[in-house]
Structure 1
Amino acid sequence: MKALIFAAGKGERMRPLTERTPKPLLEVGGKPLIVWHLERLAAIGVREAVVNTAWLADRFEPALGDGARWGLRLRYSHEGAEPLETGGGMLHALPLLGDAPFIAVNGDIWCDFDFAALPREPRGLAHLVLVDNPQHHPVGDFALDHEGRVHPAGERRLTFAGIGVYRPALLDHWQQVIGPAPGTERQPPSFRLAPLLRAAMRADEVDGQHHRGAWTDVGTPERLAELRAFLGQDAVGA
């Protein structure tokens, strides 16, 4: 099984920390955020991971190399000067990911979720990990029912953790789902993944699970500091 780690974002809310360091390379608990993911992926037998890059793309390979230290083969999907958003980034990386289901993880989260709990193949087009709504996102993203199906709306709304298993077919008809929108005229195109997921949910093609453990979306310097304190690293610098 292969994996994709989203690492192309500019991290604008994290500045000045991200002016010289991409957000996934910021250290927490003594190692870069992205390394936590690489270690956990390697632990469940993933042997090839793709890192998509844009902002400060040249910083990743010197920091991570070819992945051999984790027993992985790392490949890089460079998107150019501007990130392609999650949907465009996934589409751009598909030639490196192949035809089989793959894991995708946001490079700017920290979570104690055990990747071994993910299905090797989703029932439908995607399987998402959801978490309790954090204070900065109280309304959540999607609803999870008692049968493990994920819906665009509902009473039991949770927040998408940025961890999932996807079939490449999720992107087959992206143009019809997204329609004419800013970024879609680019080559390669830029668009968000969420509309494709909502369309798949309406077709009953998305399952999920509720992770009740620790999870942080490292979106601000304050949340980075809180995570570092939680992991026993009190330093404020990058």
Structure 2
Amino acid sequence: MILAAGLGTRLKPFTDKHPKALAMVNGKSLLQRNVEYLQQFGITEVIVNVHHFADQITGAIKKNNGWGSTISISDETNEVLETGGGLQKAGWFFDDDFVLMNVDILTDLDLQVMIDQHKKNNALATLAVTERNTSRYFLFDRQQQLCGWRNIKTGEEKIMRNENDIQQKAFSGIHVIDPKIFSLIQQQGKFSMVDVYLSLCANHSIQYFDHTASKFIDVGKPESIAEAEKMFA
């Protein structure tokens, strides 16, 4: 699933008239790039959630025949549901372990290695992370298990399991998830996957996959478009 319903406020003025999913990097939209990225790992059935300028996204998918993939739409036109609510609404689509990713992420992370680790460890969810500076971090123990969350700007911290040796990792917006998570989610309506993971990590295996060595950029601001064009042809 590619999350493409956000308002893209950081990418103004482009998003005053377009969805961020259609922001162009070297002649290809973010959405096209991530559809083609998933294809590299044999993933050709994708669902995309839409809200902001939804008709432009559905139009681009139809015009380009899904760029070679079969793309379903999860319509959030009436209300954007955030990452957790958006996934929950699209839950009907999944019957096996699946990838969830933000549309404004570009990376060359080896997704097959991440999926293999997820399945080998029988995790409920595996989260792609890197060692980089950011304002918000997931917190993990030395067994790579999620135990909390920290916002270093506000000082807010949520510790769900007490551990003596905690490491903080920056989340990359890419998840591999076991569909049994849908039976465990207690939240309803509009909510974040961060809250889901924090509510489940005390009793379920939510792990990280560190891809610090790979290319990665969050194409969230106008200046990051130029940076992304240097990184991805």
TM-score scaled by length of structure 1: 0.81
Give the structure 2 partner of residue 141 of structure 1: 137
More off after superposition, 51-60 vs 33-42: 33-42
After superposition, residues 52-63 of structure 1 pair within 5 angstroms as: 52-63=49-60
Quick check: 2:146–2:206 contact (8 Å CA) kept in 1? yes
Q: Which residue of 2 aligns with 1:105?
A: 101
Deviations 1:176-214 (A, max 9, x none): xx4xxxxx4xxxx21111111112222241122101122
- In the alignment, what sits opposite 1:127? 126
Partners of 2:61 and 2:67 within 8 A in 1: no
Give the total of aligned pairs: 214
2:195 is aligned with 1:195? yes
Where does residue 227 of structure 1 map in the other structure?
228
Judge conservation of contact 1:40–1:115 (CA < 8 Å) in 2.
no
Q: CA deviation at 1:75?
A: 0.6
Structure 1: distance between partners of 2:71 and 2:107: 21
Asked if 2 retains the 8 angstrom alpha-carbon contact of 1:50 and 1:75, the reply is yes
Cα separation, 2, equivalents of 1:132 and 1:108? 19
Please say if 1:171 is aligned against 2:171.
no
Runs of 4+ in 1 over 3 A off after TM superposition: 66-71, 144-148, 229-232
**Contact map agreement 2:8 2:15 (CA 8 A) in 1:** yes
1:72 matched residue in structure 2: 69
- Greater shift, 83-92 or 192-201, is seen at 192-201
Higher mean C-alpha deviation, range 217-226 or range 36-45: 217-226
1:147 and 1:199 map into 2 onto residues whose CA distance is 19
- Structure 1 residue aligned with 2:160: none
Across the aligned residues of Structure 1 and Structure 2, the Cα RMSD in angstroms comes to 2.2
Q: What SS does the aligned partner of 1:190 have?
A: coil
Structure 1 distance, partners of 2:98, 2:84, is 14
